[in-house]
Amino acid sequence: MRKIEYRSYNIVVEDFGKDIVYDGTQLSSQYIANNYDVLGNSILIFRGGMSLSPKEMVDIKDIQREAHLAEILISSDDSMHVIIEEFDIQPPNLEIEYYRLRLLTLIILEKLAEKGIKAERKGTDIYIDKKKLNVAIASVGVSNSKIHLGLNVGSTGFPDHVTAVGLLELGVKQEQLEKWMISIVKLYIDEVQMVKEDVSKTKPI
């Protein structure tokens, strides 16, 4: 595990060999602070599977639409995960956090395009030839805003009702994954910071 201080954020990169399963607990308030001894705006990157039942999910629409299809609605054997926890907007604003999640998704689309991978976005979901590449959600607590985005690495372990694809199948190299993911979250931080700079330089009307 290593920590990177970048602008106003702490980036925590877990050892990709640990295989940490995303089960929804990572979306809890101050998870990064409590587990990695960092405070303030922070981003955790880790690699592992996913396994969420309806009771661990926060997307009401998905629960209503898919709860009858399987006991585990979100799953994979191998994914990269980004957990973003932010305290810079008080009180926390869920609408703004969903804008930020879309920003993160658009950055990933740009980085995929650089590798020659043509992708389509529907909201916060990314598709390659109609196969789903990611899961994503935003939420808020009393003092913080949270984002989880999981990108499939492998191509196994998905629910039967989901047609999905992984980065390795698309030609992304195993040894590139960590550096690639760090570059994505740094671009995200840059964009958030530039918005703040735009706000500070603009006169009211």
pLDDT in tens, 75-129: 899 999 999 999 999 999 999 999 999 999 999 999 999 999 999 999 999 999 9
For position 44, which CATH number holds? Answer: 3.30.930.10
> Per the domain annotation, does 16 fall within a domain?
yes
Q: Are 45 and 82 in contact (CB under 8 A)?
A: yes
Q: Among residues of the chain, what percentage have pLDDT more than 70?
A: 90
**Domain total of the chain:** 1
The amino acid present at 190, given as its one-letter code, is: D
Tens digit of pLDDT for each residue in 38-60? 999 999 999 999 987 765 555 54
Predicted model pTM: 0.90
> Per the domain annotation, does 89 fall within a domain?
yes
Query: What average pLDDT does this structure show over 147-153?
Result: 97
Chain-centroid distance, C-alpha 69: 24
> Per the domain annotation, does 202 fall within a domain?
no
130: left (phi over 0), alpha (psi -120 to 50) or beta: left
> Per the domain annotation, does 197 fall within a domain?
no
Nearest to 31 by CA among 137, 105, 141: 141
> Per the domain annotation, does 201 fall within a domain?
no
Q: Report angle CA 104, 107, 113 to the nearest 5 degrees.
A: 145
What is residue 73's predicted lDDT score, i.e. its pLDDT? 66
Domain with 64 in it = 2-192
